[in-house]
Structure 1
Amino acid sequence: MFEALYVEKTSTGQSATLRQVSERDMPSGDVTVRVRWSDLNYKDALAVTGRGPVVRAWPMVPGIDCAGVVEQSSNPAFTPGQEVVLNGSGAGELHWGGFAQRVRVPADWLVPLPPGLSAYHAMALGTAGFTAMLCVQALEREGVRPASDPVLVTGATGGVGSIAVMVLATLGYQVVAVTGRMAEEPYLRALGAQDVLPRAHFETTSRPLEKARWAGAVDVVGGQVLAAVCASMRPAGVVAACGLAGGMDFPATVAPFILRGVTLVGIDSVTCSQAVRLAAWQRLAALIDPAKLDTLTLRVPLAEVPQAARDLLEGRSKGRIVVDIPQ
């Protein structure tokens, strides 16, 4: 038996309770990991609260990320005692995830913990940091360089946005952060933002083309904000889109794409290959300052995840939330 946050359907919706579950009930996989840390992402918050259709198999143990130590493995790629990281791949949606003391998954969902990165800091990054890194790599791949014009980051006080600001600033980009909470401007400037803009500038219906300002952008919001960002890109600008906090709609025109040659790159952090995951995690380990990462990280015990999930969805938290799994 082990402890897990267990989500199941009820007559009024769903419940999320901390309970003892049996290893016999765990889904199949060739590697069993003793979880030390997990984290709380936007998708996890939706799964725990039931405010979004994230869970697709019932009952479920949510948690799309975790870091820990291999206990058992029938795959030669991993051995007992090895530290590993799991993020995405369907954990917490179709397959029991990381809000538990144990997780059993296919070996190709895991990557070895990169040298120089602790398990705690791996979860301070989590899928948010991994997604931010994929966005940065997309901008680089499409030719956006630090010497280019400024790069915009929307949703900048959230997990993905905060780490995107930090990584881009570390690489030497001129970063402009967008937030709905201007009181957090000192926080964003401490992460490396050179300027901070209110989200309201991007929430009104934009013209097909606005003043060309940005060489690149990381958009976590979607909806009208993404449309406004695309309309204000410079010629040959690149937008990496990775979120939908502002909605699924995309009320844009083709003007930025056919008149300025703007590129819109979609970022999928769930179904990446193991090689892509490993490369991104290794780069994060090389770029991230653990002390700075600590300034944007809150630690909560597993039992407090339901409340932390509500706080995240209602805009009462910022940065990253690491979940302390009881040992």
Structure 2
Amino acid sequence: MLSYSAFRIHNDDQGHHAGIEQLPKPEPAEGEVLIRVRYSSVNYKDALAGTGRGKILRTFPLVGGIDAAGEVEVSRHPSYRAGESVIATGWGLSFDHDGAYAEYLCVPGDWLVPMPDGLDARAAMILGTAGFTAALALHRMQANGQCPELGPILVTGASGGVGSMAVAILAHLGYEVVALSGKPDLHDWLKELGASRIVGREALAGATRPLEKGEWGGAIDNVGGELLAQITRTMVPGGNIAAIGLAAGHELHTTVMPFILRGVSLLGCNSVDVPSPLRAELWSHLASDWRPANLETMPSETVRLAGLPDIFERMLDGRTHGRILVEI
């Protein structure tokens, strides 16, 4: 039986452990597609799952990796044929279904998106879930009236995967982008991505009243907690906040005054279960009019499967930035 290499995660009598294993090459069932994976990426969620520091996986053992791009090898789904390039992100990958840190990935065909014109496997995984989530946030904001004329967009956690993608996409579309980052050594890099200026958390530290001076036309928040509460108090009338992350906490202590008196909207973004039509639409945008001009040079690192444990630890310790590609 043919086998393939995969980065597999266990939680058993030996505790949490993970590494490269040889697995039997799967045969797709009716409605499934077998993909030869070319590239994946490393997201914060992947690092939590791979180290066991977060309760991400629902079942064990499981192959990690929530992003995949490659070619169809065998298809038992009417929409796909052998040789076609595809993207897989979200759904059950590295949650209750084997993920993409492997040479092969077998998934329901309904989870896939055809590779849009303008992207290849590498470019698609530079974007990955991070770029897709940033696009989802922008989609939700624009559907709710967001436009450059409302004022600057604040992006928190700007040096991370979603944050850096949001900065690049928004700047490309003509928005004034203010990046919030606590890493001074990355300020020049964020400006290269398109940030007009960089601020630290102290810029919002004094925002304690229910309503403060309106500064932000919109915000994409990757942090949550008290920072998100401070953002609600400093939005201009009609502004939108896309809430994506909760690294600083899942509780939100604020009042309804920004939402009632200023018409501020708080928009939650879940990139996992996006319906297929919208998923394809967003990938089409990312391949064309929303594609960052500097996309090809955005990855800070490229690793192989053997390099994942080190990258996971560095990411959780705050010693990485931007997008990290995994070449299979």
- After TM superposition, the score normalised by the length of structure 1 is 0.95
Distance 1:292 1:62 in 2: 25
Confirm whether residue 299 of structure 1 aligns to residue 302 of structure 2.
yes
Distance 1:230 1:27 in 2: 48
1:40 and 1:28, CA in 2 relative to 1: closer, same or farther beyond 3 A?
farther
Distance 1:200 1:28 in 2: 55
In the other structure, the counterpart of 1:309 is 312
Q: How far off is 1:149 after superposition?
A: 1.0
Deviations 1:123-162 (A, max 9, x none): 0110000000011111211111122211111110001000
In the other structure, the counterpart of 1:147 is 149
Equivalent pair of 1:99/1:302 in contact (CA under 8 Å): yes
Mapping of residues 86-101 of structure 1, within 5 Å: 86-101=88-103
Matched residue SS, 1:236: strand
1:203 and 1:5, CA in 2 relative to 1: closer, same or farther beyond 3 A?
farther
Distance 1:111 1:24 in 2: 21
Q: How far off is 1:249 after superposition?
A: 1.6
Confirm whether residue 226 of structure 1 aligns to residue 228 of structure 2.
yes
Matched residue SS, 2:34: strand
Distance 1:290 1:152 in 2: 20
Matching residue's letter, 1:40: V
1:205 and 1:251, CA in 2 relative to 1: closer, same or farther beyond 3 A?
farther
Mapping of residues 99-248 of structure 1, within 5 Å: 99-202=101-204, 206-248=208-250
Q: How far off is 1:31 after superposition?
A: 0.5
Distance 2:207 2:237 in 1: 21
CA RMSD of aligned residues (A): 1.8
- After TM superposition, the score normalised by the length of structure 2 is 0.95
Q: How far off is 1:291 after superposition?
A: 3.8
Distance 1:203 1:126 in 2: 33
Distance 2:27 2:73 in 1: 17
Q: How far off is 1:235 after superposition?
A: 1.1
Matched residue SS, 2:315: helix
Matching residue's letter, 1:298: E
Identity across matched positions, percent: 44
